[in-house]
């Protein structure tokens, strides 16, 4: 607490008395009979929770079953036991900016070659723990160039959870600052 106080003193930042009455906005006339401590601990916390829940509802709209099943189909665990080309193609349909109709056909062919290769031709693909390990091994074995569209899809799949979090956080930030 001493470090915070000295920092505030150094930069001339006012430290409110937490027991003092809190007045919302700039008006000193509108008293709610609450103090700064209550405002920080309850009101702001509750607002933050409300906005987080709103953002999670919006994120859930974007995360459909098709996306999740498509991502799971690329999981290398148990020799790609969840691999389902039709689910992967449904996932790709979410990325139409990256995959036009000709690339979609090429990806379909690459997926056929990919699954045959990783299930039998190269023993390094047997004990992978997740999609990130798969991406690393594709680069290490130079298959990321041969199977460039499969590799692109794997990269997009790895980015998707982060992108959803960033979108949710951006929404939350926007909503908090609009109030």
Give the pLDDT confidence of 63-74 residue by residue, as tens digits.
567 777 888 888
84 C-beta neighbours (distance < 10 Å), count = 14
Per the confidence metrics, is the pTM higher than 0.75?
no
Asked if 149 and 100 touch (Cβ cutoff 8 Å), the reply is no
160 C-beta neighbours (distance < 10 Å), count = 19
Give the pLDDT confidence of 87-109 residue by residue, as tens digits.
888 888 877 778 888 888 899 99
- For the chain, what percent of residues have pLDDT higher than 70? 71
């Amino acid at each position: 607490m001493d470090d915070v106080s000295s920092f505030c003193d150094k930069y001339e930042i006012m430290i409110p008395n937490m027991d003092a009455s809190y007045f919302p906005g700039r008006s000193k006339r509108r008293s709610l009979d609450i103090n700064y401590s209550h405002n920080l601990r309850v009101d702001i916390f509750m607002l933050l929770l409300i906005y987080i829940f709103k953002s999670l509802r919006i994120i859930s709209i974007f995360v459909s079953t098709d996306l999740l099943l498509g991502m799971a189909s690329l999981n290398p665990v148990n020799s790609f036991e969840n691999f389902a080309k039709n689910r992967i193609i449904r996932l790709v349909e979410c990325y139409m900016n990256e995959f036009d109709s000709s690339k979609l056909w090429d990806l379909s062919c690459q997926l056929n070659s990919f699954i045959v290769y990783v299930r039998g031709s190269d023993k390094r693909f047997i004990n992978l723990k997740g999609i990130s390990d798969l991406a690393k091994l594709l680069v290490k074995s130079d298959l990321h160039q041969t199977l460039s569209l499969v590799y692109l899809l794997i990269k997009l799949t790895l980015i998707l959870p982060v992108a959803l979090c960033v979108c949710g956080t951006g929404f939350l930030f926007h909503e908090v600052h609009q109030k």
